[in-house]
Amino acid sequence: MVFVQDNESYSTKGVLRGLHFQKQYPQGKLVRVVKGSVFDVAVDLRANSKTYGKWYGVELTEENHKQFYISEGFAHGFLVLSDEAKFCYKVTDFWHQGDESGLAWNDPEIGIEWPHLVGEYKGTADPSSYKLDDGTGLSFSDKDKLWLPLKDTFKF
């Protein structure tokens, strides 16, 4: 595989990014954490796959040095568990404006078990009824509050 770009993001505790994917220009991503801790998740969106709609998650930390590869055709997201986190990732295609899409991070049909998260699903991706078990509120981008559930989202 060929990686075309390296990216780095910095986030604070309670930030949840995702679940993102590109429709026409899908990206493979090799992700790792160099500072702090995140729970990283991939969801299979390949319609003909035996694992369609299934998720896998792993905690990535600066101590465990784990890396996680997310294949093309998967939605990707992460929740910051530490006070701050520096997240690094390599991608197999560039970001294309207008091609990005997403999947509701809390869709009960998928059932992602986000660690340390408490709250109740209210029928949308809006995080206002959730927080971390230490009382930290969740922080989302406006677009991440609007993603649709699996049954209504794009399939590869």
User: Is 20 considered catalytic here?
Assistant: yes
Task: Please state, in angstroms and rounded to a whole number, the distance separating the CA atoms of residues 78 and 56.
Answer: 11
% of the chain exceeding 90 in pLDDT: 93
Model pTM? Answer: 0.95
- pLDDT tens readout for residues 34-91: 999 999 999 999 999 999 999 999 999 999 999 999 999 999 999 999 999 999 999 9
- From 42, 117, 39, 43, select the one nearest 85 (Cα to Cα): 39
Instruction: Determine which one of 20, 65, 96, 121 is catalytic.
Output: 20
The answer to whether the beta carbons of residues 26 and 156 sit under 8 Å apart is yes
User: Is 10 considered catalytic here?
Assistant: no
% of the chain exceeding 70 in pLDDT: 100
The angle at the Cα of 134, spanning 132 to 137, to the nearest 5 degrees, equals 45
- 7-16 mean pLDDT: 97
pLDDT grade for 98, boundaries at 50, 70 and 90:
very high
- pLDDT tens readout for residues 131-149: 999 999 999 999 999 999 9
- From 4, 38, 41, 36, select the one nearest 19 (Cα to Cα): 41
Cα-to-chain-centroid distance, residue 129: 19
Instruction: Determine which one of 10, 56, 89, 116 is catalytic.
Output: 89
Region 5-152: CATH code:
2.60.120.10
**Predicted confidence (pLDDT) at residue 1 exceeds the cutoff of 90:** no
Q: Cβ–Cβ contacts within 10 Å for residue 2, how many?
A: 7
